[in-house]
Amino acid sequence: MKGARYIKIICLLLLSASFFVAYSQTEISSEAERQISRNQRVPAYIDIAGDTIPTILLRPYVKYGNDGNMSAKQERYYWKLVRDVRKCLPLAKLAASTMIETTEYIRTLPTQEEREKHLRKMEKDLVKEYEPVLRKMTYSQGKVLLKLIVRECNSTPYEILQAYLGNFAADFWQAIARLFTADLKMDYNPDGKDALIEKIATKIEQGEL
């Protein structure tokens, strides 16, 4: 199916782009804070009266009510979405953590040449490791992955491709995506149209699914 193929290509470009977006970022505080909120616990240290005390930051626990009675059709859709989110969430988190970790690491490299060499190697390794995974994804999983990338990176797929490939290429892939009912400028509304994806993703993060 051509639509699935193009969505997979876009997803692979986005994962690769996360390295280069990280390189272009000058501030990562908001991204770091967002990532911390997604982690179950993050080591930290606080000095009190000269003492260094290890502490743990726990993310908020979200309690959802009973789903109620679902029809057979609704139940099939729900568990299909659970499958898709479970498969795609680690990839979206990879993109987000890459944007943070790569930014921090390349700042330690002294020359432009070393930074670009490191980024090229990372991109090559990423494609080698994750292209087989993306090839096995369905069209619906590709669209879920795009949504989750927005959730984790706090940037639209279009913005990520724009930073990596430029305006023309971003517009090209947006046009391709629109042909197959996808939108790289999509937002993520956890309290609205994307509430079910958010609920499933949160339950997975909390170990409930």
Residue 173: which of 8, 20, 24, 23 has the closest Cα? 8
Average pLDDT over residues 13-39: 47
Q: Name the average pLDDT for the chain.
A: 74
Average pLDDT over residues 120-131: 74
Residue of 128 and 51 predicted with greater confidence: 128
pLDDT above 70 coverage of the chain, percent: 67
Handedness of CA 102, 40, 137, 157 (dihedral sign): negative
- Amino acid 208: pLDDT: 87
Distances, alpha carbon 123 to alpha carbons 13, 20, 178, in Å: 10, 9, 26
pTM above 0.95, yes or no: no
Beta-bridge partners for 44: 55
Query: CB of 187 within 8 A of CB of 156?
Result: yes
pLDDT tens-digit readout, 66-109:
777 788 898 899 999 999 999 999 988 887 887 777 767 777 88
- Amino acid 53: pLDDT: 59
Contacts of 162 (CB under 8 A, 6+ apart): 170
- Amino acid 7: pLDDT: 58
- Amino acid 37: pLDDT: 42
Distances, alpha carbon 153 to alpha carbons 91, 102, 128, 182, 208, in Å: 11, 14, 22, 18, 23
Q: Into how many domains does the chain fold?
A: 1
pLDDT tens-digit readout, 146-205:
899 889 888 888 887 777 667 887 787 788 777 767 788 888 999 999 999 999 999 999
- Amino acid 29: pLDDT: 38
Q: Residue 83 and residue 77: Cα distance in Å, rounded? A: 10
Domain hosting residue 198, numbered range? 2-205
